[in-house]
Amino acid sequence: MSSSPVHLVITALGSDRAGIVNTITRHVSQCGCNIEDSRLALLGGEFTFVMLLSGSPNAINMIESTLPIKGAELELLIVMKRTPTGSTPVRHEGFSLAVEVPDSPRIIERFTALLTQHHMHIAELMTRAQPGTPAILSIRIHAYGSSAKALADLEQNFALLCAELSAQGTIHADGRQETERL
């Protein structure tokens, strides 16, 4: 009888260079682990690679014991944490939010605070400052909550926040055909 797979979240951070992602994924495979989900981003001259791995208890033990050594060889910062399966909350009323706003400190925090106030969970957050006078910050967020009322209230408060910040924003609920322009 085989045991249930064990799950491990790994983050690798280091200087970007050709072949580094292949080296990491090869090591994961050689340990007998499967990459179930992953994200990679280049930020300045650094890359960050986040992976959700699954594997037998022995495979996960092997990656936990060998990846820090491999990371040191590659001059990477490695962070690992086991995570239970089935722990992801049921996602209801998902939506995507897009904003273009003059950049200044606290802008991202204002939008994440709005989502927190409405008991929304952020599943994905991407931002990029575009140079100019003024610099324009693009924000993309995918989030989910647990009630239609919470989403309706969020849409109203999102419009108010966009107006306050002189931002152009859209919010699009999953399954909706139309996107509201704010």
**C-alpha–C-alpha distance, residues 138 and 1, integer Å:** 51
pTM over 0.85: no
CB proximity list for 4: less than 8 A, separation 6 or greater: 85
**C-alpha–C-alpha distance, residues 28 and 32, integer Å:** 7
Indicate the domain borders of the chain.
6-83, 92-181
Exposure of 134 in the CB half-sphere (CA atoms within 13 A): 11
Torsions phi, psi for 165 (to 5 deg): -95, 5
In tens digits, the chain (182 residues) has pLDDT values of 467 899 999 999 999 999 999 999 999 999 999 999 999 999 999 999 999 999 999 999 999 999 999 999 999 999 999 998 755 545 556 889 999 999 999 999 999 999 999 988 898 999 999 988 889 999 999 998 766 677 778 889 999 999 999 999 999 877 433 333 33
Q: Superfamily assignment of 6-83 in CATH?
A: ACT domain (3.30.70.260)
The single residue listed with the structure tokens 């966009």 is 162
* Answer CATH for 92-181 from 3.30.70.260, 3.40.50.300, 3.40.1160.10, 2.30.110.10: 3.30.70.260
